[in-house]
Amino acid sequence: MRTAFARGAAWSACLALAACVSIEQPPARQDLGDRKVNQKSYVLSQSAEARIGDDLVKVEDYTASETALDQVEVISDFVIDHPAYSRSFHKGEIFPLAGSVDFDGKSYEVMKVGHIGIVFDDDGVVYRKIVNNLEHKGRRGIPVIPVAMVYDFEAQPPGPHLKRQVSRKITATGKNFELVFAGLTSDSIRLTYREFAPDNPSAPGFTQELSYPLASKQIRFRNLTLDVLDAKPDALKFRVISD
């Protein structure tokens, strides 16, 4: 009974100061649905140029099932430097997600740093308000309610600094490969073919080195046909005419 009374008194005091905030707890995992990727790096019959290491052709066809986790990652270094709260954050640091909070009619997410909550928007930009008293116990069992500090805070340098971590499950639904210009020798045009693993479109599962006569006006590989428009030691001008 005394606890309920104390809680009510605390809320009344908070409301009088207009500083109380309500933190909505996040689900441990939040299904973001599937993202379909189906794209080619080229346009048929359109000329292009590749330098050594560049793609002549890149084809991606897969589905990424994404799940948001209850963790926040620092994606770039920043500092909050204020007499009421000062801390440096470094790229790669991971903190728990405390939940979400509303400010000025907009929903923000809250990164938990001890009993402090760093507020950020969907783009990862740190908001000017900081939440205090996250999971902070008051004296004699009196509950302490999260409050927004009355001061305004700025992250330096400005810009996106935070993102909620997302896990991805990749399922190949078609071809995922690239054909890379590897340079010229005295008598050949060198290419590298990379075919990507079914569960990871960034990890090559099969690689093949290819060589074509330097005087070639056309390159054929599997279903691909490329016209060679100009071949230089460090660049190849070409166009894909069939795939």
Output the pLDDT for position 50: 96
Burial level of 52, CB count in 10 A (0-12/13-18/19+)?
A: middle
Alpha-carbon distance 102 to 119, whole Å? 10
Residue among 154, 89, 102, 157 at smallest CA distance from 128: 154
User: pLDDT by residue (tens digit) across 43-63?
Assistant: 999 999 999 999 999 999 888
Output the pLDDT for position 162: 97
**Residue 98 · residue 112 · CB < 8 Å:** yes
Domain count of the chain?
A: 2
Backbone angles phi, psi at 163, to 5 degrees: -150, 145
How many other C-beta atoms lie within 10 A of the C-beta of residue 150? Answer: 10
How many other C-beta atoms lie within 10 A of the C-beta of residue 122? Answer: 12
The reply to whether 118 and 89 lie within a common domain is: yes
Alpha-carbon distance 226 to 208, whole Å? 18
What's the domain range around 190?
37-66+170-242
**Residue 75 · residue 124 · CB < 8 Å:** yes
Residue matched to tokens 């071949």: 231
Residue among 78, 93, 50, 19 at smallest CA distance from 233: 50
The reply to whether 113 and 154 lie within a common domain is: yes
The reply to whether 101 and 213 lie within a common domain is: no
The reply to whether 108 and 89 lie within a common domain is: yes
Percentage with pLDDT > 70 across the chain:
87
Output the pLDDT for position 94: 97
Output the pLDDT for position 121: 96
The reply to whether 105 and 147 lie within a common domain is: yes
User: pLDDT by residue (tens digit) across 81-98?
Assistant: 999 999 999 999 999 999
Q: Which are the contacts of 94, defined by CB distance < 8 A and separation ≥ 6?
A: 71, 72, 73, 74, 165
Q: What pairs with residue 190 in β-bridges?
A: 183, 211
Query: What mean pLDDT value characterizes the chain?
Result: 87
Where among 167, 186, 218 does a domain terminate? 167
User: pLDDT by residue (tens digit) across 119-166?
Assistant: 999 999 999 999 998 876 666 666 678 899 999 999 999 999 999 998
The reply to whether 133 and 215 lie within a common domain is: no
Output the pLDDT for position 144: 74
Output the pLDDT for position 201: 65
The reply to whether 151 and 220 lie within a common domain is: no
The reply to whether 179 and 233 lie within a common domain is: yes
Where among 148, 167, 186 does a domain terminate? 167
pLDDT classification of 179: cutoffs 50, 70, 90? very high
Alpha-carbon distance 13 to 8, whole Å? 9
User: pLDDT by residue (tens digit) across 189-234?
Assistant: 999 999 987 777 667 778 999 999 999 999 999 999 999 999 999 9
Q: Is the pLDDT of residue 18 over 60?
A: no
Residue among 42, 56, 12, 35 at smallest CA distance from 145: 12
Output the pLDDT for position 2: 36
Residue 217 tokens read as 């006006």
Where among 137, 167, 197 does a domain terminate? 167
The reply to whether 135 and 226 lie within a common domain is: no
The mean-pLDDT minimum among 26-35, 94-103, 122-131 falls in: 26-35
